[in-house]
Amino acid sequence: MRVLLVEDDRMIGEAVDQALKEATYAVDWVRDGQTALNTLETQDYGLVLLDLGLPKKDGLEVLQSMRLRKNNVPVIIITARDALEERVRGLDAGADDYLLKPFEMAEVLARMRAVVRRKGGIAGPTLTNGVLSLDPVTREVSFNGEPKQLSAREYSLLHALMVRPGAILSRAELEDRIYGWNEEVESNVVEFLIHALRKKLSAEAIKNVRGVGWMVSREK
Ligand code: CA
């Protein structure tokens, strides 16, 4: 999943950026509100972590503009402002959750999973589709009840497909979800990962729609 981190504090930004990458998220980090808005115009994200006190444009303004433009990406506000009024304004402006600094990364990651689950209308933490199951908390993947060892990128790609079973994702969309800006996309990486996943799971686990992209079929 690709995450936009909007944070002007260098130390906090670096810590969150690194922790998210370690948790296998693709992360783009911007340091002011205007750049955040520009970025959201051209790039799709699974989630936004948004600081409120930002240069150029306040986080609350960013959030209001996003929602006005019908951008419904889940947003978690991360801020040092602990006044009740600020929290209420943030939630009223369309934030999905709120974290006060200083925070523990374990909590940030747990809140992110919860928000993504709620937005996706998924009740439990585990994604299941037929005999395939994926647990976003433990990162365990199993096929036919058998645990499978996946690399970080294999996991990210499978997660992107399993969050939206039945949806066809193009190569560019998949690359988007598994790489951040400053990471160089290796050529044919999507084909390579799909090949590896099919080998580890089953040849039918991921379907190719010729000329369009790949999907995990929706199964009970
Ligand atoms: Ca700030």
Q: Could you report the per-residue pLDDT of 7-30, keeping only the tens digit for each?
A: 999 999 999 999 999 988 999 999
31 CA to centre of ligand 1 in angstroms: 9
Range of the domain at 188: 127-215
**Same domain flag for 114 and 159:** no
pLDDT score for 152:
87
Q: How many CA atoms lie within 13 A of 5 on its CB side?
A: 25
172 CA to centre of ligand 1 in angstroms: 32
pLDDT score for 120:
67
28 CA to centre of ligand 1 in angstroms: 17
36 CA to centre of ligand 1 in angstroms: 13
User: Does residue 220 lie within any of the structural domains?
Assistant: no
Domain count, the chain: 2
**Same domain flag for 87 and 147:** no
First vs last C-alpha separation in the chain: 24
**Same domain flag for 9 and 70:** yes
pTM of the model: 0.73
CB 214 within 8 A of CB 174: yes
66 CA to centre of ligand 1 in angstroms: 19
In CATH, what number is assigned to the domain containing residue 111? 3.40.50.2300
End-of-domain residue from the set 119, 154, 177: 119
**Same domain flag for 9 and 113:** yes
User: Does residue 204 lie within any of the structural domains?
Assistant: yes
Residue whose structure tokens are 């379907």: 207
End-of-domain residue from the set 119, 139, 156: 119
10 CA to centre of ligand 1 in angstroms: 9
**Same domain flag for 88 and 52:** yes
142 CA to centre of ligand 1 in angstroms: 41
**Same domain flag for 106 and 134:** no
pLDDT score for 102:
87
Name the stretches of the chain with pLDDT < 70.
81-82, 120-124, 220
CB 33 within 8 A of CB 59: yes
**Same domain flag for 40 and 105:** yes
43 CA to centre of ligand 1 in angstroms: 23
Which tokens sit at 50?
Answer: 């948004």
**Same domain flag for 112 and 182:** no
Q: Could you give the residue ranges of the DSSP H alpha helices within the chain?
A: 10-22, 33-42, 59-68, 84-92, 105-119, 152-163, 171-178, 189-200
CB 116 within 8 A of CB 96: no
pLDDT score for 124:
61
Task: Supply φ then ψ for residue 212, to 5 degrees.
Answer: -115, -55
48 CA to centre of ligand 1 in angstroms: 15
* Protein residues placing their CB within 5 Å of the ion ligand 1: 8, 51, 53
End-of-domain residue from the set 54, 89, 119: 119
